Chains A and B, each alone.
Chain A
Amino acid sequence: MIKFFSKEDKNGGVLERLRHGLSKTRSSISGRLDRLFLGKKEITGDLLEEVEEILFTSDIGVVTTQELINLLQDKVARKELKDPEKLKAVLREYMLSFLRIDSPAQSFPLNGQPLVIMVVGVNGVGKTTSIGKIASRYKSEGKSVMLVAADTFRAAAVEQLIIWGDRAGAEVIKQSTGSDPSAVVFDGLTAAVSRVFDVVIIDTAGRLHTKTNLMQELQKINRVIGQKIQGAPHEIWLVLDATTGQNSISQAEVFNNILGLTGIILTKLDGTAKGGIVVGISHQLGIPIRYIGIGEKIDDLRPFDPDDFVKAIFE
């Protein structure tokens, strides 16, 4: 369905696919920068202002854009950067440093208990779809996977997860719509422990981060998980939509304050949205991007690689 990622480029590797997906981003950031620098001999205030504008329009965010510009300005002031041509490489290096978050990948609990991953986010960002894809990844690594349908609010959310569970070959634990999500989670974890599942992924209902009571509900789910399995959830991932603008920062901040996020999944990078927002979020909050979503197929989820990501933007 998504023409960007037809079968032909399947062998092209992650970088190739990502480049494809980001071709729009590339042409917008890098292409414009190239045009900008053409024939310019020195880095002037005007030039920096234009760079600022370009970063703004790539959804990189006001704070991060200003931070990047300040870094560039400092370098220019210290006479370490004179050549407009080199500005791009320097900018790229800064963006890369913003995206490199030192965080260990999740390891499986040693005590034989399941790895518990809770997936959260606002409405319509692609939580359930991402969960289907993550489940499929773990299945392909030979792990047994259980999905817990804790979105008991939205109509047919449970059915949607069941279909993804079928596709991925993962078991789905569910109760009827309207039941207490914490109870569903508790039951799911009980079953997962007694039947020795390797991975449990919890699908929570989409909620706007501004709804205090719904955020408290998430805290409760979080607590219940910890009571059932000590140290769990081992991972709490926030799903962000690449199409979303500055509000992503606010979402990440609030979810992080309330739950302590361990990772971000950035979805819908197969459109024309630039996804530049992650540079700011990763940097400002110190949360690593774990995966990116680049299509609707079950294998359209890729581990996030800062090098590939920035390379794909700048090459």
Chain B
Amino acid sequence: MFESLSEKFSSIFKKITGRGILSDANIQEALKEVRLALLEADVNYKVVKNVVEEIRQRAVGKEVLQSLTPGQQLIKIVNEELTRLMGDVKQGLQLLGRTPHALMLVGLQGSGKTTTAAKLAVHLQKQGRHPYLVPADIYRPAAIEQLIKLAKQINVPFYPTNPSQKPEDICMDSLSKAGKEGSDVLIIDTAGRLHIDEAMMDELVRIRKKINPAEILLVADAMTGQDAVNVAKHFNETLDISGVILSKMEGDARGGAALSIKAVTEKPIKFIGVGEKIDSLEPFYPDRMASQILGMGDVLSLIEKAQAELDESEALKLQKKLRKNEFDLEDFKGQLQQIKKIGSFEQILGMLPGIGQLKKLKQMNHDDKELVKVEAIINSMTTQERRSYKIINGSRRRRIALGSGTTVQDVNRLLKNFAQTKKMMERFSKKGYSGMGALFG
């Protein structure tokens, strides 16, 4: 439903020929789609109402830019508005005042506090800080053991909590202990609790009073539904949180909870958790989140990654070759290697707009092994064969298949694909070169 938001827009706006201004009437239908899109993304219904109204007000009367279609223009506005609501710029931790600073993680059961605590420690270590982990969850079976195990894994000192201690005492004691051991940031992993459990919420208030933390971060599951507003509101009203960490972002949830939480708390989302590995904590970029909620994929991340990984001189060389129509299998292999540097197939597909939502594609085995196979096949060719693939006859194919541990069918398929690609490129270069620059630049 979602992947087609931009498609739906373009079909709605098809009726409007030429450029002009966006009128109330012609954006009404498009806004219905925006509303549905946001609801499907788990954005709270009341928040959706407000957001759609703000978008309408901003969009009506806007002139459609020369370079854009009306559909694109509206998407731009929606995207900008969501980004603005999400907080515009990324925000890090505010660790001010006397050391050791205390950082408190709070949230519902199973939102990912303990794992996040360890990830934050790694993050702080990288910044030259000396973190100290404090297991303050005396209720959940083996929660203390879990954090201590993680602490040992990442080589971070921890408070040896005894489950018979009171959480506020644990925190007080660890504050002085951490200082003595030369640590400057305490990360306190509190027990998961329901926001409506007053006794348990009181416990957090007591901890807060005793240690006066620099940050109180609400850890929330990115998959949370409509209830996100209730949870965030209660935690914020009780504790006056300083920010939010959104966990489990690596799944296929659209993460509308981010928008809901931001709207009810007006507190910044500081980090997102993107995996179970200990270094999978990333800063939160509002613009990227906006695109994801809209189902437009994380194109920015992809572009950034591509820019960081792709070798510019390589690209230039390739351009020249393409122009002269000299693209051969060796170049093809080079391209594959460049793609591999950006990330696994799964990662790249996830970042592309629309594709992430195509369930079929998702369950398909877009296996990186396929790339390995292709590379092996090319590696088993002679230099001559790589330069001019047309000389590869039946017996050469058999030899290549044997050498690469593949089948003749695999080799055939690769050669066929390559021939098609080359044909397409020829057509491009005949047509002139305008389109290709963007592809490889």
Question: Are A272's CB and B142's CB within 8 A?
Answer: no
Question: Are A159's CB and B145's CB within 8 A?
Answer: yes
Residues of B within 8 A of A89 (CB): none
Interface 1/0 per residue, B188-229 and A, CB below 8 Å? 000000111111100000000000000000000101111110
Q: Which of A1-55 contact B (CB under 8 A)?
A: 1-4, 53
Residues of B within 8 A of A245 (CB): 42, 223-226, 228, 253, 256-257
Q: Is B187 an interface residue (CB 8 A)?
A: no
Partner of A62, one of B39, B195, B362: B39
Question: Are A273's CB and B45's CB within 8 A?
Answer: no
Interface 1/0 per residue, B347-367 and A, CB below 8 Å? 000000000000100110100
Question: Are B45's CB and A124's CB within 8 A?
Answer: no
Question: Are B227's CB and A274's CB within 8 A?
Answer: yes
Residues of B within 8 A of A164 (CB): 141
Interface 1/0 per residue, A218-253 and B, CB below 8 Å? 000000000000000000000001011111101001
Question: Are A123's CB and B112's CB within 8 A?
Answer: yes
Closest to A208 in B: B251
A176 to chain B, nearest CB (A): 12
Closest to A209 in B: B251
Given known A246-B40, A271-B227, contact A57–B45 (CB-CB < 8 A): yes
Q: Is A126 an interface residue (CB 8 A)?
A: yes
Partner of A243, one of B108, B145, B146, B148: B108
Q: Which of A126-156 contact B (CB under 8 A)?
A: 126, 128, 153-156
Closest to B222 in A: A247
Residues of A within 8 A of B42 (CB): 245-247
Q: Which of A169-190 contact B (CB under 8 A)?
A: 177
Question: Are A156's CB and B194's CB within 8 A?
Answer: no
B293 to chain A, nearest CB (A): 12
Question: Are A56's CB and B45's CB within 8 A?
Answer: yes
Of the candidates A163, A241, A277, the one having the most CB atoms from chain B within 10 angstroms of its own CB is A241
Residues of B within 8 A of A56 (CB): 39, 45
Partner of A122, one of B146, B226, B227, B251: B251
Question: Are A160's CB and B110's CB within 8 A?
Answer: no
Partner of A159, one of B142, B194, B196, B200: B142
A8 to chain B, nearest CB (A): 16
Of the candidates A57, A156, A268, A272, the one having the most CB atoms from chain B within 10 angstroms of its own CB is A156
Q: Is B149 an interface residue (CB 8 A)?
A: yes
Of the candidates B153, B196, B359, the one having the most CB atoms from chain A within 10 angstroms of its own CB is B196
Residues of A within 8 A of B45 (CB): 53, 56-57
Question: Are A155's CB and B111's CB within 8 A?
Answer: no
Question: Are B365's CB and A212's CB within 8 A?
Answer: yes
Residues of B within 8 A of A3 (CB): 197-199
How many Å lie between the Cα of A123 and that of B365 in the bound state?
22
How many Å lie between the Cα of A269 and that of B39 in the bound state?
22
Closest to B193 in A: A1
Q: Is B139 an interface residue (CB 8 A)?
A: yes
Question: Are A59's CB and B110's CB within 8 A?
Answer: no
Q: Is B1 an interface residue (CB 8 A)?
A: yes
Interface 1/0 per residue, B254-272 and A, CB below 8 Å? 1011000000000000000
Q: Is A210 an interface residue (CB 8 A)?
A: yes
Question: Are A247's CB and B252's CB within 8 A?
Answer: yes
Q: Is B11 an interface residue (CB 8 A)?
A: no
How many Å lie between the Cα of A132 and that of B253 in the bound state?
28
Question: Are B143's CB and A244's CB within 8 A?
Answer: no
Q: Is B370 an interface residue (CB 8 A)?
A: no
How many Å lie between the Cα of A153 and that of B195 in the bound state?
29
How many Å lie between the Cα of A270 and that of B192 in the bound state?
14
How many Å lie between the Cα of A260 and that of B8 in the bound state?
35
Partner of B195, one of A53, A122, A125, A272: A272
Closest to B346 in A: A212
How many Å lie between the Cα of A248 and that of B251 in the bound state?
11
Closest to B194 in A: A271
Q: Is A58 an interface residue (CB 8 A)?
A: yes
Interface 1/0 per residue, B365-398 and A, CB below 8 Å? 1000000000000000000000000000000000
Closest to B252 in A: A210
Given known A59-B227, A124-B111, A126-B109, contact A156–B1 (CB-CB < 8 A): no
How many Å lie between the Cα of A209 and that of B250 in the bound state?
10
Question: Are B153's CB and A155's CB within 8 A?
Answer: yes
Q: Which of B117-148 contact A (CB under 8 A)?
A: 139-143, 145-148
Residues of A within 8 A of B195 (CB): 271-272
Q: Is B156 an interface residue (CB 8 A)?
A: no
Q: Is A111 an interface residue (CB 8 A)?
A: no
B378 to chain A, nearest CB (A): 25
Question: Are B196's CB and A271's CB within 8 A?
Answer: yes
Closest to A3 in B: B197
Given known A159-B145, A247-B42, contact A254–B223 (CB-CB < 8 A): no
Question: Are A246's CB and B362's CB within 8 A?
Answer: no
Question: Are A124's CB and B252's CB within 8 A?
Answer: no
Question: Are B112's CB and A124's CB within 8 A?
Answer: yes
Residues of B within 8 A of A177 (CB): 149
Given known A2-B197, A156-B143, A163-B142, contact A123–B110 (CB-CB < 8 A): yes
Residues of B within 8 A of A162 (CB): 142
Residues of A within 8 A of B44 (CB): 57
How many Å lie between the Cα of A154 and that of B143 in the bound state?
11
Residues of B within 8 A of A253 (CB): 359
How many Å lie between the Cα of A124 and that of B199 in the bound state?
23
Closest to B367 in A: A212
Question: Are B140's CB and A59's CB within 8 A?
Answer: no
Closest to B153 in A: A155
Question: Are A156's CB and B145's CB within 8 A?
Answer: yes
Closest to A216 in B: B365
How many Å lie between the Cα of A136 and that of B282 in the bound state?
40
How many Å lie between the Cα of A86 and that of B198 in the bound state?
38
Question: Are B141's CB and A277's CB within 8 A?
Answer: no
Q: Is A257 an interface residue (CB 8 A)?
A: yes
Q: Is B276 an interface residue (CB 8 A)?
A: yes
Interface 1/0 per residue, A190-202 and B, CB below 8 Å? 0000000000000
A248-B225, A268-B110, A271-B194 known; 14 new pairs, CB 8 Å cut-off, are A2-B194, A3-B198, A154-B146, A155-B149, A157-B146, A160-B142, A162-B142, A208-B251, A243-B227, A250-B253, A271-B195, A272-B196, A274-B225, A296-B139
- Could you show 30 A-B contacts with beta carbons less than 8 Å apart? A1-B139, A1-B199, A1-B200, A53-B45, A57-B44, A59-B226, A122-B223, A124-B112, A155-B147, A155-B149, A155-B153, A156-B142, A156-B143, A156-B149, A208-B248, A210-B252, A212-B346, A241-B223, A245-B42, A247-B251, A248-B223, A250-B253, A250-B359, A268-B108, A270-B194, A271-B108, A271-B195, A271-B231, A272-B227, A296-B139
Question: Which A-B residue pairs are the 6 nearest by beta carbons?
Answer: A245-B225, A124-B110, A245-B42, A163-B141, A156-B146, A159-B142
